[in-house]
Chains A and B, each alone.
Chain A
Amino acid sequence: MPGPVTWLVCVILLVAESVLLSAFGVESFGLQSGVGVTIYLGLRREFVTGALTLAALLPVVEWLVSGPMGFYSLGLVVVFFVLRALRGNIQKRWGFAQMILAALMAFLHAGVMVIALLLANANSAIMHSVLWNVWMACVLVGLTFVPLARFLERGDRMLNPRSGRTVLEVS
């Protein structure tokens, strides 16, 4: 998918998550699709497209998270750069290994948030909340990441059937 289309799809996913959480009234079950989308961009996009798409997504993510601005985004940016550095060592198929990876990235994201909050805006109640909820967040991101990634990859294939394929076409 081109960058703007990816951005639009991600915004729709984030809004849908917000609406569904509202319909079911469960906030600690936030699926954090922002983290999932960042992992997908980090693994499946060329650096410039991924970085610009994520940069355009950050304000929307912040509005929908409604936390102290900037801290959630900072976590996502760190996750993106870490995945860029590691992507050569990560297998391509979406499976159990990717679930574990997503859970670890959710943990890293929360860790970066806590450190940034500690340095810039120490508020023990917020840090307490992040640390309390991080375990559930890791599990939920791990469980929901693979379907989310497969959905986004299906979107990629719809618009560009050869995307992600490395086998040369028979001429």
Chain B
Amino acid sequence: MFELLRNHRRKAAGLILVVMPFVLMATSAGASIGESPSHLPMQWMQRGVGWAQYGGTLGVGGLGGLWARITSAELVEENRRLKHEVARLREEKSRLIGILQENSRLREMVDLQKRHPEYELVPAMVIGRDVSPYFRVVTIKIQSNAKLKARMPVIAAGGVVGQIHRVYGEFADVVVLSDPRSRIDAISQRNRTQGVVQGLGHERDYFAKIAYLLQKDEIRAGDVMVTSGMGGIFPKELIIGTVTEIGTSERGLFQEASIEPAVDFSRLEEVFVIMGSH
């Protein structure tokens, strides 16, 4: 057997390479969201990657501080003392701003928990993003021992973030609502017009569209869209975003609208996973 492999190692290596993508395709959920947990060895490897991302995220934060120290050491000699003082005060100010921002984010999150006492919320930290421009996925690490499952909803203080796609231990990949695979049943807060918020994966990075809006439904720019509760994944009345533009389609049964998500996904640091309701 080994002799055979040794003699045909080029063919064997080529075959392994060709077969690998098809194995990955066959063992996944395809284009739908929510994958069943992989086998234990795979889970351990995925967790290893997750820990590396977590370490990297902490490291990038540390590097920021190091950079500030290096630049302050390059000051001109005669102004050294004053510039040093200014740098120290600046650093202190930026640290204070950071603390205030973190404080306000945490306040918002506490408020969120107060606003929705009915949900069991688990906090999580954003530690990575997908490495291709075609999808919109963030990797999170939960801060507790809670057991995550695929398709659990994820929210932030501003509103809906997305839903869990894949879980590996304390890490999970969250498909953001602007990912092209994402579909969320939505309703207008003003007049209960119903539609489906679909991710685009392009157009100003995080925008989405509302599809299946009936031609007779009246929708305007500025309308706030919330989750309808249909579909059984997201609870009712969570803010998705604001309508920015209405498509002027002359034909067809439906009209389309663009929506700007309520959450700024480019600055996402902390999120909540809705584990269930009390």
- Whether, in the assembled complex, B212 has its beta carbon less than 8 Å from a beta carbon of chain A, the answer is no
Interface assignment of A30: CB less than 8 Å from any CB of chain B: yes
The answer to whether B21 and A32 touch across the interface, beta carbons within 8 angstroms, is: no
Contact-residue size bin, chain A (C-beta under 8 Å from the other chain): 35 or more
- Bits for A77-101, please: 1 = Cβ < 8 Å to B, else 0: 1001000000000000000000000
Given contacts A25-B267, A59-B24, A123-B181, contact A19 B201 (CB under 8 A): no
A54 to B137, CA, bound (A): 23
- DSSP majority for the B interface? mixed
Contact call A18/B134, Cβ cutoff below 8 A: no
B131 interface residue per 8 A CB criterion: yes
Given A23-B57, A51-B14, A73-B24, answer yes or no on A63-B49 (Cβ-Cβ < 8 Å). yes
Per the 8 Å Cβ criterion, residues 18-37 of B in contact with A are 18, 20-31, 35
| In the complex, B200 has a CB within 8 A of chain A | yes
B202 contacts A by Cβ under 8 Å: yes
Assess the B46–A19 pair: CB atoms within 8 A: no
Would you call B225 an interface residue if the criterion is a C-beta within 8 Å of the partner chain's C-beta atoms? no
- The contact string, 1 if C-beta is below 8 Å from chain B, for chain A 15-46, is 11111111101111111111000000000000
Contact stretch, chosen from A126-134, A148-156, A159-167: A126-134
Give the interface SS of chain A, mostly helix, strand, loop or mixed: helix
The distance from the CB of B130 to the nearest CB of chain A, in whole angstroms, is 4
Q: Are B131 and A21 touching (Cβ within 8 A)? A: yes
Does A5 make an interface contact (CB < 8 A)? no
A111 within 8 A of B: no
> CB-CB contacts of B161-194 with A at 8 A, as 1s and 0s?
0000110000001010000110000000000000
**When the two chains form their complex, are residues B30 and A121 in contact, meaning their CB atoms are under 8 A apart?**
yes
Q: Are B10 and A65 in contact (CB under 8 A)?
A: no
B138 at the interface (CB under 8 A from A): yes
- Chain B: residues with Cβ within 8 Å of the partner, total of 62
B180 touches A126 (CB 8 A): yes
Chain B residues engaging chain A, CB cutoff 8 angstroms: 9-10, 13-14, 16-18, 20-31, 35, 42, 45-46, 49, 52-53, 56-57, 59-60, 126-139, 165-166, 173, 175, 180-181, 198-203, 205-206, 265-268
19 pairs, CB–CB < 8 Å, chain A vs chain B: A18-B53, A21-B130, A25-B266, A25-B267, A25-B268, A30-B132, A32-B132, A52-B13, A58-B21, A59-B42, A60-B45, A63-B46, A67-B132, A68-B29, A73-B24, A121-B30, A125-B181, A130-B201, A133-B133
In the complex, given contacts A22-B57, A63-B166, A70-B21, what are 18 additional A-B residue pairs having Cβ atoms less than 8 angstroms apart? A16-B56, A18-B130, A19-B60, A21-B129, A21-B131, A22-B53, A29-B133, A32-B132, A33-B131, A55-B20, A64-B49, A66-B166, A70-B23, A71-B21, A77-B17, A125-B181, A128-B202, A133-B134
